[in-house]
Each structure stands twice: as structure tokens, then as C-alpha cells.
């Protein structure tokens, strides 16, 4: 088994990815807003909807930026706890799962930001949330408990091998 990752570094890596995505999203929202209000976007006739479409795009991108900002705040406030190996899977836990073929999967349970993959110390972690299908399978489980990962056949049964 590999050494457990430094959770502070793992959390900071997740936050760095989210901050980068937030910055890009804010830039895209500003560009779309500028396009919606530019002189060139004024309708030429009653059927010209370019400025309306650009406005909808800007609104959607601003909403995505706000969701990213909420994710950043939620993860930044997540305490970095160092739980014992017999603790159940909870928010902030790092979970390792090994299937019957020996494949190892690593997960980091966060309140938001699910689906993102990050690398720390040469290890890849999938960020999951308690509301995600994998998260619902993991929360409350302990080392040794079986889990059926989505998308895998039952023949590839997996077990939690570490919780930290």
C-alpha cells in the first residue's frame, strides 16, 4: 500500500484547480457580457437576436463562476482531519479501493467539486461528493467493506483498503 497523501497538499491541489477554472470562467463571462452590450451586437432588425443570445450566454457563464466560487469556499473551509484507519468514510476522507484484479482507485471526499481528478505525490485522486453515486456507496463504510463501483461488473468486486 502506498503512503497516505498529505491531506493539506491534496486539498490545496483541488483548490488550485478550482481557482484556475473560476478565473477562466469569470473571463469567459466578462467576454460574453461585453459581446452582449457592444455596439456591434445591436439588432439590425426585429429578427436579429445576437445580443439576446450573448446575454443568455453571459448569464449562464456567470452562474457557473458563482458555483465554482461556492465550491472553493466549501472546500477551503473543510477541516484537514487525520482520521484513524478504522474510522468510517466521511467528508474530507481519502479512500483507497482495490478491486479483485488488483486495480487501486483513490478518492477524496469533498462537499463540492466532484468529478475532478488531481495528482499529489505521483498519486491520482478522483474527487467525489457524498451526493455522487460513488460517494453514496462510500459514506459510512470502513476498511474491509465491499463496494460495487459504478460501471464495473459485479465480478470485479472491490473492497476499501484504506481510509485516511
Residue 100 pLDDT level (bands cut at 50, 70, 90): confident
Q: Is residue 50 within 8 Å of residue 43, measured between CB atoms?
A: yes
Residue in the block written with cell 478522483:
126
Provide the whole-model pTM.
Answer: 0.84
What per-residue confidence (pLDDT) applies to 32?
87
For residue 96, pLDDT over 60 is answered with yes
Q: Considering only residues 102 and 153, tell me which one the structure prediction assigns the higher pLDDT.
A: 102
What per-residue confidence (pLDDT) applies to 156?
60
104 class by beta-carbon count within 10 Å (0-12 exposed, 13-18 middle, 19+ buried): middle
Mean of pLDDT values over 102-111: 93
Beta-carbon neighbour count of residue 54 at 10 Å? Answer: 19
The dihedral region occupied by 151, where left means phi > 0, alpha psi between -120 and 50, and beta the remainder, is left
Residues 6+ apart with CB under 8 A from 102: none
What per-residue confidence (pLDDT) applies to 59?
93
Q: Where are the beta strands (DSSP E) in the chain?
A: 94-99, 104-109, 117-120, 123-128, 146-147, 158-163
What per-residue confidence (pLDDT) applies to 44?
75
Q: Considering only residues 15 and 83, tell me which one the structure prediction assigns the higher pLDDT.
A: 15
Q: How far apart are CA 18 and CA 36, in angstroms?
A: 26
How do residues 8-60 score in pLDDT, each as one tens digit? Answer: 999 999 999 999 999 999 999 999 888 888 877 777 777 778 778 888 898 99
How do residues 122-149 score in pLDDT, each as one tens digit? Answer: 999 999 999 999 999 999 999 999 998 8
Amino acid at each position: 500500500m502506498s503512503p497516505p497523501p498529505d491531506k493539506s497538499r491534496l486539498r490545496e491541489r483541488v483548490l488550485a484547480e478550482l481557482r484556475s477554472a473560476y478565473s477562466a470562467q469569470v473571463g469567459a463571462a466578462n467576454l460574453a457580457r461585453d459581446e452582449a452590450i457592444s455596439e456591434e451586437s445591436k439588432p439590425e432588425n426585429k429578427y436579429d437576436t445576437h445580443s439576446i443570445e450573448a446575454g443568455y450566454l453571459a448569464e449562464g457563464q456567470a452562474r457557473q463562476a458563482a458555483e465554482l466560487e461556492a465550491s472553493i469556499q466549501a472546500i477551503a473551509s473543510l477541516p484537514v482531519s487525520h482520521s484513524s484507519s478504522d474510522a468510517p468514510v466521511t467528508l474530507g476522507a481519502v479512500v483507497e479501493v482495490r478491486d479483485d484484479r488488483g486495480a487501486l482507485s483513490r478518492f477524496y471526499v469533498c462537499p463540492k467539486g466532484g468529478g475532478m481528478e488531481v495528482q499529489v505525490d505521483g498519486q491520482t485522486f478522483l474527487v467525489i461528493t457524498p451526493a455522487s453515486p460513488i460517494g453514496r456507496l462510500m459514506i459510512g463504510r470502513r476498511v474491509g467493506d465491499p463496494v460495487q463501483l459504478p460501471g464495473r461488473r459485479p465480478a470485479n468486486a472491490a473492497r476499501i483498503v484504506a481510509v485516511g
